[in-house]
Structure formats: structure tokens, C-alpha cells
Amino acid sequence: MEVVLAVALPFFALIFTGMAAGRTRLLEGTSTRPLNTFVFYFALPALLLSGTAEMAAADILRPALFLSWLLPALLLFFTTWLGLRWLFGRSAGERAIQALVATFGNVGFVGLPLVVTAMGTHVLPAAMVVIIVDSAIMIAVATAIIEWERDEGSGFRRALRTAGLGVARNPLVIASAVGVTLALLSLSLPAPLLRYLELLGAAAGPTALFALGITLARQPIRLAGPEVAILVAVKLLIHAPVVWLATWLLGLDGPLQTALVILATLPVAANVHVLAQRYGLYAGPTSTAILISTVLSMVTVSLALSLLL
């Protein structure tokens, strides 16, 4: 209970503070854009770079760490994608968005600051792996399915190219890659540069959570249908046990195992809504799933913290 009060409660309080600011119009809706830009392009990359660059290569290059997140993600994605066809009969592209709702957590704006605050920077490899797998692989898989359906196969290469460009331009992936490279080469950052990155990264958590709250305050509240309920349940209740099982089977234990399980309890990421809007597929229910899962994740995240730490 102590860790919940010390870590989880302040985090969700920041989100609801942002929601209150958004609801009361103290901050205009357009104010979230510069906040999100600062977090995504400056603060979070600085946090990742400063943390991973100082790590031992052995802590980063662990196949079990990578597979412990990738295999559950693929399993849940395609199980959801196939199962919803039988249950609701939606198109392949819509089900690709739904499958992302069930597997893609808000690691950047919530999970990364959360695990660093709760466990320290030594668990950054876990967050880095989640970011790379979700951004580089899962988004690419969903995009490829959507493009394949739209162009009956002819758009598959374009889908991979589009996804590849998105990964190459993702500042979180870039910061992770640079940090890993420095760690593998045993190169230390100059002290002034490291301190600068640490100061900048320290702003990531509160700013990201506050901006997320403002964004959620702008989301229209809709009734959740059975599909949304199933997707949120998979994301918040099934994802974490499956990840834990994968870590156990692959022999990953200790802080990195704990961090992965905590990251699996996170709410749906806003990236999924961006992709849904881009293709005009399941966008409304996706925003509802983000809002509902964010509120309910107070329970799942708090439970994971109290049981694992």
C-alpha cells in the first residue's frame, strides 16, 4: 500500500489535475500541442538517452527481455484480431486497430516515468524494449494489415515503407538506439551533457501526465459497447498475466521482469487513436477505450505495484 500511495496516487493525481484544467477551460485545447511536443521530442528522449547510455551492455542485449514482450504482444494481437472476426464480423483493418487497443499501452507518457520513479533508471531497458517493439513492430503489423485490405495486397510494400519511416522518425526509438550504441561502445557522456539530459528528462513525467489529462478532458464521453469492454479487459486484465508467463518461461526474473509486468497494466496509448483517425477506422470507440482504460488503470497499476514491489 505504501508504494501505491507514494508512486501511483501522485501519478494519477497529475492526470486528473490536467483533466480538471481541461474541463474548466483554464487551458485551451490547443495548449496540449506544445506540451506534447515538448514531452515527445525533448523530455522523454532525454530521459531514455541519459539512462540507457550509462547501462552495461549485458543489461540491454538480453534476448529473453525482448521476447518476453514481443511474443505476448503478437499472441494477444492475433488472438484478438481473429476472435473479433468471429464475435462481431468487422473488417480486417478495423480489427487491426482493435487488436492494437488490446496490446498497445501508454508507455511513453505514463509507463516510462512510472517505472523510473518506482524502480529507478536500471529498469530503463524494459521500457526501451517495449517502446521499440510497440512502435517498430506492432504498429507496422497493424498498418500492413490495413493497407493490404485496402489495396488487396498491392499496398503491402507501401505499408512497410510508411511504418519504417514512422519508426525512423520516432524520437523515442532514436534516443533508445543512440543510448544503446553508446552503452555497447562503452562510451560515457560528458558530465555537463549528462546533467543537461537528466534535468530535461526530469520534466518528462509531470508534463506528460498533465498533458495526457488535458487530452482526455477533450475526449467526448460515449457509452462503451461490448467490443470496447472486451478490448479494455484484455489490455488491463489479460496482458499482464500473459507477459508474466512469458518472462517465467524465458527465465527473465528480477527488476526487469517486474517492470515488464507493470508496463503491461497500462492504459491504451494515444498512438492507437492517431492511427485510427488516419485511416478512418474505429476512431470513436478507440478514444472511448483510451479514456475508460486510463481511469480503470488506476486499479491495475496500483495492484501491480502493491504485489510486485
**Residue 263 CB contacts under 8 Å (≥ 6 apart), including other chains:** 105, 107, 111, 115, 126, 127, 130, 243
pLDDT reported for residue 75: 97
Query: How many C-alpha atoms does 241 have within 13 Å on its Cβ side?
Result: 5
Q: Which of 155, 138, 136 is nearest to 147 (CA)?
A: 155
Would you write out the chain's pLDDT as a tens digit for each of its 309 residues? Answer: 667 767 788 888 888 898 888 888 777 656 677 888 888 889 888 988 888 777 766 666 789 999 999 999 999 999 999 998 888 778 888 999 999 999 999 998 889 889 988 898 889 889 989 988 888 788 888 888 887 777 655 555 665 666 565 566 778 778 888 888 888 788 888 889 999 998 998 888 888 888 888 878 877 666 568 889 999 999 999 999 999 999 999 999 999 999 999 999 999 988 888 788 888 888 788 888 988 999 899 999 999 998 898
pLDDT, tens only, 60-109: 678 999 999 999 999 999 999 999 888 877 888 899 999 999 999 999 88
Q: Which of 58, 107, 108, 104 is nearest to 77 (CA)?
A: 104
As given in the structure block, the three cell numbers for residue 172 are 523515442
Q: Which residue has the cell 518476453?
A: 68
pLDDT reported for residue 273: 83
Alpha carbons 53 and 45: distance in angstroms, whole number: 12
pLDDT reported for residue 105: 93
Dihedral Cα 147, 153, 159, 161, nearest 10 deg: -160
Q: Which of 60, 65, 110, 41 is nearest to 252 (CA)?
A: 65
The CA distances from residue 104 to 26, 62, 101, 230, 255, in Å, are 31, 22, 6, 15, 21
